[in-house]
Amino acid sequence: MKLQRFRREIVFIMDLFITTIVCSILFLGMPESNGIGSGSLHLLFPHLVVLVACGTISQYFLKTYDSLWRYAESKEYLTLLMAGITGYSAFVIIDHYILSSKISLLFSLAAFSISLLGMLLMRLTYRQFRKYMKTKNCNNGRVPIAIVGAGDAGVRLLEEIMNDPDNRYKPICFIDDSIEKIGKYIHKIEVLGPIKNMPEILKDTPVCEIIVAMPSVIPDRKKEILEICSTLKCKVRTLPDTLKLLENDGPKKLWKSVRDVQIEELLGREPITFDTKEVKQFLQNKVVMVTGGGGSIGSELCRQIAKVKPKTLIILDIYENNAYDIQQELRYLYGDKLDLHIEIASVRDVIKVNRLFERYCPNVVFHAAAHKHVPLMEDCPEEAIKNNIFGTYNIVQAADKYGVEKFVLISTDKAVNPTNIMGASKRVCEMILQSMKKVSRTEFVAVRFGNVLGSNGSVIPLFKKQIENGGPVTVTDKRIVRFFMTIAEAAQLVLQAGSMANSAEVYVLDMGQPVKILDLAENLIKLSGKNPYTDIPIIETGLRPGEKLYEELLMKSEELVATSNHKIYIERQKEISRGELDTKLGILKEAIETESLVHIKKAMKSVVSTYRDPEEVNNKSVDLDYSDIEVEVNGLAMGNVG
């Protein structure tokens, strides 16, 4: 890194050396054409000074020495050629016409041409050599890295690397914003900066990987840094935030904490947190049942519930592999301290459901069991009705019968103005809860949120797998936008909403700004060290059955009411009588008995008045500028819907 400061001087000296050698060889080797003869070499010196001076001045004004030749393209080489021609023209005018030199034009033209060719070859050779060295370094077991952040975490990370003889990483430099640190050395590693100049700083280095070692940086700033990193063709990794480092005994195992960048770090917002004290009071020493407890949201719910020491935790799931995984995880963490029971059963089985409720008498039920894949449910709508709607009805009736204190349904933004069977089925589930208001001692609530990052079947794991396989990365439509939250945030929202003393309400979360799916795909590719569209292609596959361009968290016609938590709101909805619900369920039951997709979808539309065909909704939204649309109900902004 020391030589980098003298890059211009080194290139100039190399040019001077090439010009001197070429002129000397031609002067001595072609005495008959130089115009002077085979006299002493010192006769050439004045003309050489004029030639070098003219060439240097022309290159100075055209700024050829400012170029980073390792990354030079045709523009830089054309500029060098133009500077050479300009310098030679000046030399001819000065040396031949003003100074009346005896040097022949043929000699000076040959010297100029060969010297210029030597300069070009020198730059091309340097570029190829640097490219070769970077590739070699990236593949010989010693990966050159840059550490972003020269604070305590970055320095400790460097020390761990230096003290570990088996470590395959070679630190090249620090990059930091601190004026006091830039230009200094830490354990013989130079600190460069500022961070905003990282692309220019690293262009002349063999760095293959960047590690962002700034665990205490705010999310917005971390997003900015990651976006800068994504402009470089380097793999990007990072340290988790300070809290997670402490949980993992960070200072002792800092290097082991380095991980790939998680897509939620590109959302640039503070993680949504909730009052754990309320949740603890809500669940401690309670018998808690989680249906679908082996799924993405269900298993995270179980992890969070186990932390607050429930009296008993019952995990109900039809898929034994997932149930087994969460069982082993919780047993490893808590051993005999957690009274854990796994029940393999379907929520469709009303007899088994009632038997389990009778056996355990749960105080709190979190209902996460559901079919959630939109395209699959479009092909098999009867399964969505059987499992999502009638399965929920079975659990709700059992909760009422056996005196459950609180019942929490996991709903989705796709239930709002649905365009698919899955979303419509979830809307009916919300109706089932509404019908229990004032007729049951059990408090029934639904929690509605958007897409969950990293959940089973979500787009992020698919993108990562596609990138690992070399692409292509597939997006259904480049215009699609979605609300996102992490699995942990979703689970905490469910627990927090469940702890609130309201019944038959739908809770929604202020999820901030929506994100373009295309942006997620591009950023994941960049942060893996690849270039979108060139290294990894991105292709559109077309909207899937039932899919719409944007999702909504609220039903705009309803009233939105704030809660004690500024991130959680209640959507007031019209009450549904038991008689009205029974009629709707009867229509659906008759429809699935016909085994006709047409009849089933027609029945669903009659039951859910807001159900629309996706084409109808998408055609209306084609010309929308999603970045400017905001949903506001009762003056409370809930972020953009698209």
Roughly what angle, to the nearest 10 degrees, separates helices 296-307 and 487-499?
60
Whether the pLDDT of residue 325 is over 50: the answer is yes
Instruction: Say how far apart CA 333 and CA 600 lie, in whole Å.
Output: 46
- Return the percentage of the chain with pLDDT > 70, whole number: 76
Whether the pLDDT of residue 43 is over 80: the answer is no
- pLDDT of 553: 46
173-187, 250-264, 323-337, 470-484, range with the lowest pLDDT: 250-264
Whether the pLDDT of residue 71 is over 60: the answer is no
pLDDT band at 18 (very low <50, low <70, confident <90, very high): confident
Task: Encode pLDDT of 549-586 as tens digits.
Answer: 665 544 443 566 777 776 777 887 777 899 999 999 99
Mean local confidence (pLDDT), 411-433? 91
Beta pairing class for 406-412 and 312-317: unpaired
- pLDDT of 337: 93
- Answer whether 141-261 and 276-453+483-509+556-640 agree in fold: yes
| Nearest by Cα to 160 from 245, 248, 236, 251 | 251
- pLDDT of 323: 94
CATH 3.40.50.720 fits 276-453+483-509+556-640, yes or no: yes
- pLDDT of 441: 92
- pLDDT of 556: 45
52-56, 386-390, 542-546, 617-621, range with the lowest pLDDT: 617-621
- Strands across the sheet with 364-367, in order? 340-344, 312-317, 287-291, 364-367, 406-412, 443-449, 505-509, 568-571, 560-562
Most trustworthy range by pLDDT among 333-337, 365-369, 511-515, 530-534: 365-369
Instruction: Say how far apart CA 638 and CA 453 lie, in whole Å.
Output: 20
CA distances from 619 to 480, 601, 623 (A): 13, 20, 8
- Return the percentage of the chain with pLDDT > 90, whole number: 29
Whether the pLDDT of residue 74 is over 70: the answer is no
**Distance, C-alpha 284 to centroid of its chain:** 35
What are the residue ranges of helices labelled H in 206-249?
Answer: 219-229, 242-247
Q: Contact 205/144 with Cβ under 8 angstroms?
A: yes
Whether the pLDDT of residue 380 is over 60: the answer is yes
Instruction: Say how far apart CA 571 and CA 448 lie, in whole Å.
Output: 10
Mean pLDDT, the chain, integer: 79
Cα-based angle 42, 45, 48 (whole degrees, multiple of 5): 150
- pLDDT of 310: 95
- pLDDT of 36: 59
Q: Which DSSP symbol is given to 389? A: I
Instruction: Say how far apart CA 178 and CA 172 lie, in whole Å.
Output: 18
Tokens of 77: 């080489």
Task: Encode pLDDT of 440-477 as tens digits.
Answer: 999 999 998 777 766 655 677 788 888 888 888 888 88
Instruction: Say how far apart CA 182 and CA 190 lie, in whole Å.
Output: 8
Helix (H, G, I), strand (E, B) or coil at 345: coil
- pLDDT of 624: 45
Bigger pLDDT: 318 vs 516: 318
Mean local confidence (pLDDT), 523-544? 80
pLDDT band at 55 (very low <50, low <70, confident <90, very high): confident
Going from N- to C-terminal start, the domains of the chain cover 3-136, 141-261, 276-453+483-509+556-640
CA distances from 553 to 35, 269, 283, 471, 550 (A): 86, 19, 27, 32, 10
Whether the pLDDT of residue 410 is over 90: the answer is yes
Task: Encode pLDDT of 209-244 as tens digits.
Answer: 899 998 888 877 888 888 888 788 788 888 876 545
Instruction: Say how far apart CA 160 and CA 156 lie, in whole Å.
Output: 6
pTM: predicted TM-score of the whole model, two decimal places: 0.63
Bigger pLDDT: 548 vs 611: 611
Roughly what angle, to the nearest 10 degrees, separates helices 45-61 and 74-91?
140
pLDDT band at 408 (very low <50, low <70, confident <90, very high): very high
Bigger pLDDT: 315 vs 11: 315
Mean local confidence (pLDDT), 503-527? 76
- pLDDT of 148: 93
DSSP class per residue in 94-112: IIIIIS---S-HHHHHHHH
Mean local confidence (pLDDT), 383-408? 96
234-243, 350-359, 493-502, range with the lowest pLDDT: 234-243
Instruction: Say how far apart CA 140 and CA 160 lie, in whole Å.
Output: 20
Instruction: Say how far apart CA 298 and CA 497 lie, in whole Å.
Output: 15
* Burial state string for 499-537 with b = 16 or more CB within 10 A and e = fewer than 16: bbeebbbbbbbbbbebbbbbebbbbbbbbbbbebeeebe
Whether the pLDDT of residue 621 is over 70: the answer is no
Mean local confidence (pLDDT), 23-31? 71
Tokens of 330: 């919780």
Helix (H, G, I), strand (E, B) or coil at 531: coil
Q: E strand or H helix at 494, and its extent?
A: helix 487-499
52-66, 163-177, 413-427, range with the lowest pLDDT: 52-66
Task: Encode pLDDT of 89-110 as tens digits.
Answer: 887 788 767 766 666 677 777 7
Tokens of 81: 């050629």
Tokens of 430: 């919300």
CATH 3.40.50.720 fits 141-261, yes or no: yes
Q: How far apart are the first and last CA of the chain?
A: 47
Q: Which DSSP symbol is given to 412? A: E
Most trustworthy range by pLDDT among 3-12, 165-174, 629-638: 165-174
Most trustworthy range by pLDDT among 35-44, 202-211, 515-524, 591-600: 591-600
Q: Which DSSP symbol is given to 481? A: E
